[in-house]
């Protein structure tokens, strides 16, 4: 099943978040994982928006952010890493990102034959301590966006059809290989050379 905007909407309805609140939550998540530029760009370049302080206050009222978190006074610095999200909400968000990650995992080819040797492409243990970590890393790389996720799966299917996958799933995520596949597709490249591959 392809994760769609319907799943995002279901998540928003469950926690009674409007579109901007949900988007700001995602931006704060990303800022907590060293991607603070997205939050900065949103609040520095989008003119018609609610104040960050007001949204954070609303999220706290809705129980998304714990009451123990002290909202900075107006004019004070906002530090995303200090935001304390409700554990149940985090669990729900993680479940959502797990669905995206697991769909990628199940769609990814399991093996590739290199020089007569079958090599596993789904070994995640060298990079991640668990499937949850793997799924969250993938979710973060696509900004937890179901539209981008759909594009990733479409690029993956194209690569599988044209024998372009010669690397493990961890490299696929960490190197954002779907962008390379899309570029190759646009250039009319139908396969990739695997002669120099030394590790997966």
Q: What is the pLDDT of residues 42-67, one digit of tens each?
A: 988 887 778 899 999 999 999 999 99
pLDDT in tens, 138-147: 987 887 777 7
Q: Which H/E stretch holds residue 24?
A: helix 19-31
The mean pLDDT of the chain is 85
Rounded Cα distance, 116 and 113, in Å: 6
pLDDT, tens digit, for every residue of 76-108?
899 999 999 988 887 777 677 788 899 999 999
Asked if residue 153 lies in contact with residue 107, where contact means CB atoms within 8 angstroms, the answer is yes
Domain ranges of the chain: 5-85, 88-187
Q: Which of 17-31, 149-163, 183-197 has the lowest mean pLDDT?
A: 183-197
pLDDT score for 82: 94
């Amino acid at each position: 099943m392809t994760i769609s905007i319907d799943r995002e909407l279901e998540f928003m309805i469950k926690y009674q978040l409007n579109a901007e609140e949900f988007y700001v939550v995602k931006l704060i998540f990303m800022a907590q994982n060293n991607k603070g530029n997205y939050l900065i760009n949103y609040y520095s370049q989008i003119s018609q928006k609610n104040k960050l302080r007001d949204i954070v206050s609303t999220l706290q009222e809705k129980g998304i952010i714990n009451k123990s978190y002290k909202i900075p006074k107006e004019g004070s610095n906002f530090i995303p890493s200090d935001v304390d999200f409700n554990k149940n909400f985090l669990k729900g968000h993680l479940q959502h990102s797990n669905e995206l990650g697991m769909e990628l995992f199940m769609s990814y080819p399991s093996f590739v034959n290199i020089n007569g040797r079958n090599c596993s492409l789904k070994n995640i243990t060298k990079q991640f301590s668990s499937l949850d970590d793997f799924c969250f890393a993938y979710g973060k790389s696509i900004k937890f966006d179901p539209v981008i996720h759909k594009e990733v799966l479409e690029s993956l299917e194209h690569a599988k059809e044209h024998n372009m996958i010669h690397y493990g799933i961890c490299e696929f995520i960490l190197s954002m290989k779907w962008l390379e596949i899309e570029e190759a597709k646009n250039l009319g490249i139908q396969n990739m050379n695997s002669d120099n591959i030394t590790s997966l």
